[in-house]
A and B are shown apart, each in its own frame.
Chain A
Amino acid sequence: MNWLISNFDLVVGLTVNHIRLSVVPIIVGFVVAVPLARIAVTGRTARAVIITSTSLLYTIPSLPLFVILPAIIGTKVLSDINLIVALSIYAVAIMVRAAADAFTSVPVDVKQASLAMGYSRWQQFWRVEFPLAGPVLLAGMRVVSVSTIALVSVGVLIGSQNLGYLFTNGKQRNILEEVATGIVASLLIALVFDLILVLLGRLLLPWNRKNGSRSAQADSVRLPITVGDVG
């Protein structure tokens, strides 16, 4: 514990920065993916184009992306913005497919009923489809959250200050405790984020409790590693 005690301030600083770097991509992923996914479920062509192209984004290797981004968006090479943009792209890639599954999971008869009741299209989206997609959207967000927190560490290779620093630095100086601290701290962040998401779900989706379909929801969310979704 000696290393941790004497470097406590460093660890806290890196943890805070790690959280800061994770939060933005997770939120951007959600905000961008939901409308894209909603458009994707309107038709076969839309679905094929949107899901395939966003899934392809996930196949871009992270390091080259970090390096190329400054040239594309005109940021400084060592700016954290590069990392945030790159991670947002990955978050969108995961979340679009999850959100498309979420919208597909809304029962057709409920949509029909809301139409028959006299919901306008807009009201139908906000008051029926979006809340009912909630459980699967939430499952998708949990995957995005863990994935983003893990990927932030890679950013240390382009000079970002986060818990990934403890991995590279600890490895170079052969301090096992430093590497272990980095791992434990990342895990803790991931756990806390997951807990927050689950609690948010409890709060926002009270109707969904004891639904017995948790596994089905989790099953429908997967990393978009397979690209062939044209069918």
Chain B
Amino acid sequence: MIEFRGVTKQYPDGTLAIEHVDIVIQPRTITVLVGSSGSGKTTLLRMINRMVDPTSGQVLVDGTDVATVDPVRLRRSIGYVMQNGGLLPHRRIVDNVATVPLLRGVAKSAARARSLELLDTVGLDRGLADKYPRQLSGGQQQRVGVARALAADPNILLMDEPFGAVDPIVRLELQTELRRLQSALDKTVVFVTHDIDEAFALADQMVILRTGGIVAQIGTPAEVLAHPADDFVASFIGADRGQRRLRLQPRDPASGRIVVVDSAGRPAGLIEDDHASIGDGASPDVKAS
């Protein structure tokens, strides 16, 4: 479990990056910190592995205040994935993945063997092991970044806009992959993004932040959709523009399927279970995507 207790970060010039934040992150869930730039989401994330220390308040991991833990040791016990992969350009893929085990003093051969397994885990060909990062595509580098973060088998995975620099198709693929990995590996994932759709796609719990590091709302995606805490949240998730309001269209006579459309009448999807029909009052489970 990760807990932020009254966390504030103020820079020497007086600007508040984070203002009195309380968050509880349950183990083995995906929590998404979402907000536009300047909302302090990355700063919050980096407080967990002490790349940033709060000016006041506490960050606890499994009940231990991280301020009492040596930062280098702490970081080696927490996986970290960043935008563009952040791979070391001068190390081969296999060595990049083995970075943390090697830092922890694991024997080179064992670390390399584990690296190769992890390439399988994240769906990469072992043939890439001896290449350098720049020889890989953006999506592949991102997968290597995830493999590297998993190498020391951490309980916690911090992800800082990890899929921000890849194209939309690869991004969707990586999001699906992350959910698969999370359910298979049972990690506590804290994920930072400015993309609200990505947040809805991944989150068990969403933390919506506004400029100045203020928490606007915490809740499950369904709660946030159903009850935006205020106008800011409503606007941020697109509810005020009708983007999240979906309607069912009358059954298409040719295929017999029911199409879901958004407020502008554009198709957003199909109803999976079409026993439910319009007019009988049953509201089928429509998920915004």
- Say whether A and B bind each other: yes
Flag if A207 contacts B132 (CB, 8 Å). yes
* Number of interface residues, chain A, beta carbon within 8 A: 21
Q: Mark A99-139, 1 if CB is under 8 A from B, else 0.
A: 00000000101101111111110010000100110100000
Contact of B86 among A112, A118, A205 (CB under 8 A): A112
Bound together, the chains give a CA A117 to CA B102 distance in angstroms of: 11
Supposing A109-B82, A117-B100, A117-B103 touch, asked if A207 and B76 sit within 8 A by C-beta, the answer is no
Supposing A115-B75, A116-B75 touch, asked if A123 and B49 sit within 8 A by C-beta, the answer is no
Supposing A109-B82, A109-B86, A207-B89 touch, asked if A115 and B51 sit within 8 A by C-beta, the answer is yes
* Chain B positions 58-85 with a Cβ under 8 Å from a chain A Cβ: 72-76, 80, 82-84
Using CB atoms, name the residue of chain B closest to A121.
B72
Q: Which residues of chain A have C-beta atoms less than 8 A from B74's C-beta?
A: 118
New A-B contacts (7) at CB < 8 Å, excluding given A109-B86, A116-B46: A110-B87, A115-B75, A117-B76, A117-B80, A117-B103, A132-B90, A211-B134
- Say whether chain A's binding surface is mostly helix, strand, loop, or mixed: helix
* Chain B positions 153-185 with a Cβ under 8 Å from a chain A Cβ: 158
Chain A residues in the interface with B (C-beta under 8 A): 107, 109-110, 112-120, 123, 128, 131-132, 134, 205, 207-208, 211
Contact of B75 among A109, A117, A132, A134 (CB under 8 A): A117
Flag if A123 contacts B103 (CB, 8 Å). yes
Contact of A109 among B46, B73, B84, B90 (CB under 8 A): B84
Flag if A118 contacts B82 (CB, 8 Å). no
Bound together, the chains give a CA A119 to CA B71 distance in angstroms of: 10
Q: Which residues of chain B have C-beta atoms less than 8 A from A123's C-beta?
A: 103
Contact of B99 among A109, A117, A120, A131 (CB under 8 A): A117
Using CB atoms, name the residue of chain A closest to B100.
A117
Flag if B49 contacts A116 (CB, 8 Å). yes
Sample of 16 A–B contacts (CB below 8 Å): A107-B89, A109-B84, A112-B82, A113-B86, A115-B75, A116-B75, A117-B76, A117-B80, A117-B103, A118-B76, A120-B72, A123-B103, A128-B88, A207-B91, A207-B132, A208-B90
* Number of interface residues, chain B, beta carbon within 8 A: 25
Flag if B89 contacts A110 (CB, 8 Å). yes
> Closest approach, in angstroms, between the C-beta of A79 and any C-beta of chain B?
42
Bound together, the chains give a CA A54 to CA B273 distance in angstroms of: 76
Q: Which residues of chain B have C-beta atoms less than 8 A from A205's C-beta?
A: 90
Using CB atoms, name the residue of chain A closest to B49.
A116
Q: Which residues of chain A have C-beta atoms less than 8 A from B86's C-beta?
A: 109-110, 112-113, 116
Using CB atoms, name the residue of chain B closest to A212.
B134
Bound together, the chains give a CA A107 to CA B89 distance in angstroms of: 10
Most buried by B among A114, A116, A211: A116
Bound together, the chains give a CA A123 to CA B76 distance in angstroms of: 13
Bound together, the chains give a CA A95 to CA B91 distance in angstroms of: 26
> Closest approach, in angstroms, between the C-beta of B114 and any C-beta of chain A?
15
* Chain B positions 40-65 with a Cβ under 8 Å from a chain A Cβ: 46, 49, 51
> Closest approach, in angstroms, between the C-beta of A106 and any C-beta of chain B?
10
Bound together, the chains give a CA A15 to CA B126 distance in angstroms of: 52
Bound together, the chains give a CA A115 to CA B99 distance in angstroms of: 12
* Chain B positions 77-118 with a Cβ under 8 Å from a chain A Cβ: 80, 82-84, 86-91, 99-100, 103
